[in-house]
């Protein structure tokens, strides 16, 4: 049996102590295990990230999101996968952390935005599907994801705290703590998280290079002079390291520092209901190398990359109610984003910290937006929005990589040359908008809706980095672009759906149909170098069609018993090349059964994933080497859990994921790298963890 509960004695001690500590006045802990969050409002899914979750997620935001129907993850091993919604990833999916834009530093997406998000330190996660809002930046063709903390004015002096401990197979060991203290006028909040795991093993007992250790600290000081006013200063710092099975380097530093100021004023007048303003600053310092967390290949030099990213932003929104049936949100936002890099190689580990940084790409965006709701009557309403953004990108690179073919041998090699676009600017004025009709039916038991959305997306950092001239392309479908002529992506999408809840049954269904002009598609291939090889890519515009659906049904068929089923399906086509659109997840269904009498709970989750044979081998996403490798087989896994709530504020849960120790692979998993000491073969898709046991203890105190 694998390594189960490496630190079990400590977990047992904690589980014995928590009931003694718990003395709260009201229930603070909600549902026992979240197996499949469901849609409760049009195009909106809200879930509690503090609730125990099965299968047990990694420490990051992507692994938490994959429990929501429609989400998948481009897997790299243990942590820091890239989230995908409805087959779309990267900047098509906007991730906001307490109102702050989060961007990773790695040119190969070693650290996507969700790598810097520790879900359990937040109170609520909201997913807004499709291009059906303009309130949260431009280019959000797939969805917007909001990680948020609740802020409520205290009615009297006091304090509250909550925390959790998680232990499991492969040395899994997480600690979470949050505390708040204050009075009706002032408050202070602090929080800390730490997550640690060793390498996991797949169902065949094969060890995967996947260990990680990550930690974060956050704090906030707030002023609430009355029920309608809030002024908050927030700050935080995080860091860690992570091993990756899909590439030749590991992440040895993920340092992020951030600070923000938020102001919120409500009920100013009958016309002006609310004003919201926030400014923020975020700095990411990321280090990756090929020797600290693995054995360096004998034929390779010591190699270090140290990118950093500085992001500054601001946002202002005013909510107006000029009449009973009207509500408007008017606002503006701004973001400044600069990326730099220092990369060194040598016969000994380079002293990278003593070297100067070189700017490569910088971005500025100014946006204005308006979103309104008009109530036709008590059951019918129209929601619409319009947004305009001015984008500017500057290419600071003096040198760019290129691929050449040496004559007469015909050998393809990777080199560099002067950048003809050094210090060039690229400006675009882009627009987005939507119109949606909603109607309640069955006496308010349900709502159906239909919406039309349009969004224009500016190329992101990763696309621009590969939108430079490349000669000697290895495939006829590759079409290199330069800094100036990679076209913005334009997505026109129809969203339809309905929600319904009567008695013991609730359900929702949502579907979409999307036509994308100038879809930015990457093509990856391996290029030899004097000491091995490297994955390179170019990016080009194609036209695409994407459509799909999500559905869920919950039936509370007996006292304390409920069953939930969900289904997610998406199909994408590359219309330009008359082939499948790359990196599309397969059909997936989940069936969860739960018993919960308020004290004891038992549950199970069956996950069934179909095969995927619609592929475009070699094409893919902005993730390094993130391409279709070929068809993948379907699979099914079973997970079981049990919980005990000895009192209102204490919750103990245990579970086992992948009960039958299946060996399986996710379709969007990366190809594995050849790593000394591991059995994985180059280009083999990374297998998921085998049978995994876990225990979680939570307490919430007032």
At 521-570, the pLDDT tens digits run: 999 887 777 666 777 888 999 999 999 999 999 999 999 999 999 999 99
Which strand (E) or helix (H) includes residue 594?
Answer: strand 588-596
Confidence of residue 683 (pLDDT cuts 50, 70, 90): low
Percent of the chain with pLDDT over 90: 77
Q: Radius of gyration of the chain from Cα atoms?
A: 25
CA dist 571 and 547 (Å) reads 6
For residues 24-29, give the mean pLDDT: 42
CA dist 351 and 456 (Å) reads 43
Confidence of residue 466 (pLDDT cuts 50, 70, 90): confident
> pLDDT tens, 105-158?
999 999 999 999 999 999 999 999 999 999 999 999 999 999 999 988 999 999
Pairing of strands 71-74, 44-47: unpaired
Q: Which residues in 198-323 belong to E strands, given as ranges?
A: 200-201, 207-208, 212-223, 229-242, 250-266, 272-289, 302-320
CA dist 199 and 71 (Å) reads 25
Residue 22: per-residue pLDDT: 35
For residues 4-32, give the mean pLDDT: 37
Q: Is 610 exposed, middle or buried (0-12, 13-18, 19+ CB in 10 A)?
A: middle
The pLDDT mean for the chain works out to 89
Lowest mean pLDDT among 264-273, 521-530, 555-564, 578-587: 521-530
pLDDT at 651 over 70: yes
CA dist 621 and 74 (Å) reads 10
> pLDDT tens, 50-84?
888 888 888 899 999 999 999 999 988 888 999 99
Q: Which residue has the tokens 């299946």?
A: 662
Lowest mean pLDDT among 170-174, 347-351, 416-420, 583-587: 416-420
CA dist 449 and 510 (Å) reads 9
Q: Which residues in 396-504 belong to E strands, given as ranges?
A: 399-406, 411-418, 424-441, 446-457, 489-502
Lowest mean pLDDT among 218-227, 522-531, 591-600: 522-531
Is the distance from CB of 45 to CB of 126 less than 8 angstroms?
yes
Is the distance from CB of 334 to CB of 347 less than 8 angstroms?
no
Is the distance from CB of 451 to CB of 496 less than 8 angstroms?
yes
Bridge partners of 102, per DSSP, are none
Residue 455: per-residue pLDDT: 98
pLDDT at 223 over 80: yes
Residue 651 CB contacts under 8 Å (≥ 6 apart), including other chains:
29, 32, 52, 643, 644, 645, 696, 697, 698, 699
Lowest mean pLDDT among 165-174, 372-381, 460-469, 600-609: 460-469
Q: Is 156 exposed, middle or buried (0-12, 13-18, 19+ CB in 10 A)?
A: exposed
SS3 183: coil
Residue 406: per-residue pLDDT: 57
Confidence of residue 414 (pLDDT cuts 50, 70, 90): confident
pLDDT at 576 over 90: yes
| 34, two tokens | 């979240």
Confidence of residue 345 (pLDDT cuts 50, 70, 90): very high
| 697, two tokens | 């203890």
CA dist 585 and 666 (Å) reads 9
Bridge partners of 240, per DSSP, are 214
Residue 421: per-residue pLDDT: 81
Residue 262: per-residue pLDDT: 97
For residues 159-168, give the mean pLDDT: 96
Which strand (E) or helix (H) includes residue 523?
Answer: strand 505-529
Residue 152: per-residue pLDDT: 87
What does each C-alpha distance from 504 to 272, 443, 594 come to in angstroms? 40, 16, 14
Give the Cβ contact number of residue 383 at 10 Å: 20
CA dist 209 and 686 (Å) reads 10
Bridge partners of 506, per DSSP, are 501, 554
Phi, psi of 121 (to 5 degrees): -85, 0
pLDDT at 3 over 80: no
Q: Is 243 exposed, middle or buried (0-12, 13-18, 19+ CB in 10 A)?
A: buried
| 436, two tokens | 């949606």
Q: Is 543 exposed, middle or buried (0-12, 13-18, 19+ CB in 10 A)?
A: middle
SS3 312: strand
| 549, two tokens | 């659906």
What does 91-136 look like in DSSP terms, one character per residue? Answer: GGEEEEETTEE-----TT-SS-GGGG--GGGSSEEEEEESS---SS
Residue 674: per-residue pLDDT: 84
CA dist 413 and 417 (Å) reads 13
CA dist 97 and 64 (Å) reads 14
Confidence of residue 485 (pLDDT cuts 50, 70, 90): confident
Residue 668 CB contacts under 8 Å (≥ 6 apart), including other chains:
72, 73, 74, 75, 84, 583, 585
* Edge-to-edge order in the sheet of strand 71-74: 71-74, 82-85, 88-89
For residues 585-604, give the mean pLDDT: 95
pLDDT at 32 over 70: no
CA dist 72 and 617 (Å) reads 19
Q: Which residue has the tokens 């979240």?
A: 34
Q: What is the 3-state secondary structure (H, E, C) of 371-384?
A: EEEEECCCCEEEEE
What does each C-alpha distance from 388 to 327, 346, 365, 493 come to in angstroms? 20, 48, 10, 18
Residue 301: per-residue pLDDT: 92
For residues 436-446, give the mean pLDDT: 94
Is the distance from CB of 256 to CB of 282 less than 8 angstroms?
yes
What does each C-alpha distance from 521 to 90, 195, 385, 560, 593 come to in angstroms? 12, 35, 28, 48, 40
Confidence of residue 31 (pLDDT cuts 50, 70, 90): low
For residues 392-412, give the mean pLDDT: 75
- Which CATH superfamily, name and number, covers 8-701? TonB-dependent receptor, beta-barrel domain (2.40.170.20)
Lowest mean pLDDT among 162-166, 395-399, 450-454, 471-475: 471-475
Confidence of residue 484 (pLDDT cuts 50, 70, 90): low
Is the distance from CB of 25 to CB of 702 less than 8 angstroms?
yes
Which strand (E) or helix (H) includes residue 8?
Answer: helix 8-21
For residues 651-661, give the mean pLDDT: 96
Q: What is the 3-state secondary structure (H, E, C) of 667-691?
A: CCCCECCCCCCCCCCCCCECECCCC
CA dist 397 and 654 (Å) reads 52
pLDDT at 453 over 60: yes
Residue among 75, 46, 47 nearest 60 (CA): 75
CA dist 409 and 437 (Å) reads 63
What does 59-100 look like in DSSP terms, one character per residue? Answer: SSHHHHHTTSTTEEEE--SSS-PEEEETTEEGGGEEEEETTE
CA dist 7 and 169 (Å) reads 10
- The 8-class DSSP code of residue 171 comes to G
Residue 597: per-residue pLDDT: 93
End-to-end CA distance of the chain: 41
Lowest mean pLDDT among 8-22, 26-40, 367-381, 482-496: 8-22
pTM confidence score: 0.92
- The 8-class DSSP code of residue 354 comes to G
CA dist 86 and 452 (Å) reads 17
Residue 515: per-residue pLDDT: 98
Residue 474: per-residue pLDDT: 37
Residue 473: per-residue pLDDT: 41
Phi, psi of 681 (to 5 degrees): -100, 150
């Amino acid at each position: 049996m694998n390594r189960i509960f490496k630190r079990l004695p400590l977990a047992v001690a904690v589980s014995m102590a928590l009931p003694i500590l718990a003395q709260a006045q009201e229930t603070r802990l909600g549902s026992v295990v979240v197996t499949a969050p469901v849609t409760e409002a049009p195009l909106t899914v809200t879930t509690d990230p503090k609730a125990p979750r099965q299968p047990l997620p990694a420490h990051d935001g992507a692994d938490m999101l994959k429990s929501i129907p429609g989400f998948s993850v481009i897997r790299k091993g243990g942590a820091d996968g890239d989230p995908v919604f409805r087959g779309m990833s990267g900047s098509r999916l906007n991730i906001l952390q307490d109102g702050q834009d989060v961007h990773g530093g790695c040119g190969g997406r070693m650290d996507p935005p969700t790598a810097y998000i520790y879900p359990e330190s937040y109170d609520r996660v909201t997913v807004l599907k499709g291009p059906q809002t303009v309130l949260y930046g431009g280019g959000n063709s797939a969805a917007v994801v909001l990680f948020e903390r609740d802020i409520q004015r205290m009615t009297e002096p006091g304090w509250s705290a909550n925390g959790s401990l998680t232990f499991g197979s492969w040395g899994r060991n997480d600690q979470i703590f949050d505390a708040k203290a204050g009075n009706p006028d002032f408050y202070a909040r602090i929080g800390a998280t730490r997550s640690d795991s060793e390498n996991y093993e797949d169902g065949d007992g094969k060890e995967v290079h996947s260990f990680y250790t990550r930690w974060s600290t956050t704090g906030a000081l707030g002023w609430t002079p009355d029920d309608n006013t809030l002024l908050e200063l927030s700050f935080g710092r995080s860091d860690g390291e992570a091993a990756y099975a899909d590439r030749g380097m590991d992440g040895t530093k993920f340092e992020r520092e951030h600070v923000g100021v938020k102001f919120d004023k409500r009920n100013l007048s009958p016309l002006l209901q609310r004003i919201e303003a926030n400014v923020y600053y975020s700095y990411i310092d990321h280090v990756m190398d090929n020797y600290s967390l693995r054995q360096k290949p004998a034929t390779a030099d010591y190699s270090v990359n140290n990118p950093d990213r500085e992001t500054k932003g601001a946002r202002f929104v005013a909510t107006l109610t000029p009449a009973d049936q009207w509500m408007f949100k008017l606002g503006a936002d701004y973001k400044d984003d600069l990326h730099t890099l220092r990369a060194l190689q040598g016969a000994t580990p380079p002293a990278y910290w003593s070297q100067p940084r070189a700017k490569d790409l910088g971005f500025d965006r100014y946006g204005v937006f308006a979103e309104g709701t008009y109530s036709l009557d008590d059951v019918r309403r129209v929601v619409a929005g319009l947004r305009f953004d001015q984008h500017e990108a500057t290419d600071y690179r003096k040198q760019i990589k290129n691929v050449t073919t040496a004559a007469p041998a015909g050998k393809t090699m990777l080199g560099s040359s002067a950048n003809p676009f050094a210090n060039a600017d690229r400006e675009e004025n882009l627009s987005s908008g939507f119109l949606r009709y909603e109607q309640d039916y069955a006496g308010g038991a349900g709502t159906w809706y239909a919406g039309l959305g349009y969004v224009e997306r500016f190329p992101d950092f990763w696309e621009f980095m590969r939108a430079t001239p490349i000669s000697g392309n290895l495939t006829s479908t590759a079409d290199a672009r330069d800094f100036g002529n990679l076209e913005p992506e334009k997505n026109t999408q129809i969203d339809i759906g309905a929600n319904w809840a009567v008695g013991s049954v609730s359900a929702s269904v949502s579907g979409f149909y999307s036509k994308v002009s100038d879809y930015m598609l990457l093509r990856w291939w391996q290029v030899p170098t004097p000491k091995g090889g490297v994955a390179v890519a170019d990016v080009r515009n194609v036209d695409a069609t994407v459509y799909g659906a999500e559905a869920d049904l919950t039936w509370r068929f007996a006292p304390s018993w409920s069953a939930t089923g969900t289904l997610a399906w998406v199909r994408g086509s590359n219309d330009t090349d008359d082939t499948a659109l790359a990196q599309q997840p397969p059909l997936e269904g989940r069936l969860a059964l739960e018993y919960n009498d308020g004290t004891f709970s038992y549950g199970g989750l069956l996950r069934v994933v179909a095969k995927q044979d619609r592929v475009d081998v070699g094409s893919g996403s902005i993730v390094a080497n993130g391409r279709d490798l070929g068809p993948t087989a379907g699979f099914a896994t079973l997970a079981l859990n049990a919980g005990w709530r000895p009192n209102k504020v204490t919750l103990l849960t245990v579970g086992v994921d992948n009960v039958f120790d299946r060996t399986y692979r996710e379709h969007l998993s990366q190809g594995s790298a050849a790593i000394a000491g591991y059995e994985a073969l180059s280009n083999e898709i990374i297998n998921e963890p085998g049978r995994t046991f876990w225990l979680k203890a939570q307490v919430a105190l007032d």
